[in-house]
Structure 1
Amino acid sequence: MRWRSVGYCGPVTTLSDVGRDALLVAGGGRAILLQIANPGVGRGVAAHSDFASRPLDRLHSTLTYVYAQAFGTDADKRAVTRRVNRAHAPVSAEATLDAPGYSAFDPALQLWVAATLYDTAVRVRELVYGPLGPEAARQVYDDYAVLGTALQMPEDLWPSGPEEFAVYFEAETARLEVTPEARAVSRQLLSGQSLPAWLRAGMPLVRLVTAGLLPSQLRAAYGLRWTPRQQRRFGRVLGVTRAVWPKLPRGIRFAACSFYLHKLRAAPDER
């Protein structure tokens, strides 16, 4: 594995040009809706998480975890893993007659969450920058496994390569079910009601991008309206993003990584 040092984020691999790019935040809604369409994840989120009413906290937590595992020091990784394990500890319930059991420590559910983050990152990146070369694509794929293996997911549960991952992801997507609980969480999340007014103003764009990135069957299951006009708007947003975003200085595109690692390192209870 080849390492090099880039700014505050420290040593990075090929993943740097994918995982460090703040562009991936645009896929956050897609990843979350894919996650909660898994009944185990969805039930756990509905019962134990208030992230729909505090979406910025969820975003901050996810980005801190991803950046620390991918680009942080060993101390960063230990700190963020402890933080996540503490948050996951109370998230469990037994199965009932009409609902599956779940545990945030379930390796299969952790695999699904990591898979949605990887698939979303690659999809967003390729829509804007174009496809990765075979070697870089494989390196990025292998690097993303850490999002699960840093927790309770064994290494051999991560599909052995991108082709095997595609088979797994297609099969899991076909089994997804948008329950009333998941639909309620999605409505609350995409409404932006709990956000400051200046952020709420951007929610129509967030809803458009989230719907445009979702598989069509999930878009319909969540009740997200999609018309030819919306498809054209989505295409225009992509066109502008492709023209502008890659030309921004790396310091801007990668600033979020430095910000979240600095914030993690400044928290005295996490070191």
Structure 2
Amino acid sequence: MTLTLKDMAPEGIMIAGGGRAVLLQIAHPGVGYGVVQHSNFATEPLKRLHGTLTYIYALTNGTPRQAAKVVEGVSKAHQPVRSAGGADHPAYDARDPELQLWVAATLYDSAILVYENIFGPLNRADAENIYREYALLGTALGMPEERWPGSRAEFRDYWYDAAARLRVDPPVREVAAQLMRPRNVPLYLKTAMPIARTLTAGMLPAKLREAYGPEVFGGAYGTRQDLEYRALMASCGVVLPKIPLAVRHAPMRYYLSRLR
């Protein structure tokens, strides 16, 4: 049976790639400065995480009504999110198909990285199917379907070209620090943040990890941190596949229940 996005998205461990995806997103100047000017990370650091997870779960595993409700809500939220360009940054419009493509691309690339680390490499048929289906995360918001690269090989070309233009300016680094070292969050989340920082730092490309720097991750990333990251991934790879699906899919059920 071919693996589908409906099978992959509910895996709770996929949340582990969320920090990586967001840091990749805001390193794109077009996204980063939009977030700087319109972000509420400092006062509501969980809002973006809740919104992204609700969006993904509704599109992949929700009812048509839930999916339509989420798309409508995100579209309305994006309408006023625009800013003029400046001397050091481009103009920003949350409805820009190129930026929607980049955001969807970071979600896809991060999801594949996490899934294959935990459950093993996908076979070619599954990999191609999952790749095609991930276009939905962009097209649901209005990105033309033809903007999604036609194959995984074309996606790699797009990815490396886009990644070469990423940069971390001081305002973007400050937003990243608010995300990775939040203050206004429940105690349980504060307790989990060291693990989240280790996973996020370990999964980021080395150049981008260095650009964000120790103020985002709570210290320099060296051999010890890399060993911790690899040990975490290896442990999850042994334990998680043995856990019942009902437990692994609990986050999805929670977020879909909120939509009701």
Please, what TM-score do these two structures have when normalized by structure 1? Answer: 0.91
Corresponding residue number in structure 1 for 2:217 = none
Name the residue aligned to 1:110.
Answer: 100
* CA displacement at 1:263 relative to structure 2: 1.2
Aligned mates of 1:139, 1:255 — CA distance in 2: 24
CA contact (8 A) 2:58 2:67 kept: yes
Do the aligned residues in 1 keep the contact of 2:41 with 2:178 (CA within 8 Å)?
A: no
Aligned equivalents of 1:255, 1:205: Cα separation in 2: 20
Please state whether the residue corresponding to 1:260 is helix, strand or coil.
Answer: helix
The reply to whether residue 200 of structure 1 matches residue 187 of structure 2 is: no
Query: Of 228, 235, 260, which residue of structure 1 is paired with 2:230?
Result: 235
Which residue matches 1:120? 110
TM-fit CA distance, 1:52? 4.5
Give how far 1:107 is off. Answer: 0.3
Aligned pair partner of 1:249 in 244, 247, 258:
244
Q: Measure the CA separation in 2 of the matches of 1:78 and 1:64.
A: 12
- Residue 114 of structure 1 aligns with an amino acid whose one-letter code is A
Aligned partners of 1:44 and 1:103 also within 8 Å: yes
Letter in 1 for 2:176: S
Does the CA-based 8 Å contact 2:45-2:178 persist in structure 1?
A: no
List aligned pairs for 1:173-212, cutoff 5 A: 173-212=163-202
Letter in 1 for 2:258: K
Q: Work out the CA distance in 1 between the residues paired with 2:88 and 2:253.
A: 45
Partner of 1:9: none
Measured in 2, the distance between the counterparts of 1:52 and 1:34 equals 19
Residues 91 and 144 of structure 1: CA distance in aligned 2, closer, same or farther (over 3 Å): same
CA distance in 1, matches of 2:152, 2:207: 23
1:49 to 33, 39, 42: 39
Q: Where does residue 261 of structure 1 map in the other structure?
A: 256
Instruction: Name the CA distance, whole Å, in 1 between partners of 2:130 and 2:67.
Output: 18
Q: How far did 1:175 drift? A: 0.7
* One-letter identity of the residue aligned with 1:257: M
User: Counterpart amino acid of 2:254?
Assistant: F
Matched, 1:36 2:26: yes
**Alignment partner of 2:164: what SS?**
helix
Amino acid in structure 2 at the alignment position of 1:105: R
**Alignment counterpart, residue 75 of structure 1, candidates 65, 71, 83:** 65
- Corresponding position: 1:24 with 2:14: yes
Q: How many angstroms does 1:55 deviate by? A: 2.5
Name the CA distance, whole Å, in 1 between partners of 2:127 and 2:45: 30
Letter in 2 for 1:83: G
Give the secondary structure class of the aligned counterpart of 1:202: helix
Give 1:161's match in structure 2, choosing from 151, 155, 168.
Answer: 151
CA distance, structure 2, for counterparts of residue 53 and residue 24 of structure 1: 25
The 2-side partners of 1:169 and 1:52 are apart by 30
Match for residue 130 of structure 2? 140
**Runs of 4+ residues over 4 Å off in structure 1:** none
1:98 matched to 2:88? The reply is yes
Distance 2:93 2:24 in 1: 18
RMSD: 1.4
Confirm or deny: 8 A CA contact 2:182 2:190 kept in the other structure.
Answer: yes
Structure 1 residues not aligned, in runs of 5+ = 4-12, 267-271
TM-score when normalising by structure 2: 0.94
Q: In the TM superposition, what is the alpha-carbon distance from 1:192 to its structure 2 partner?
A: 2.2
Identity across matched positions, percent: 46
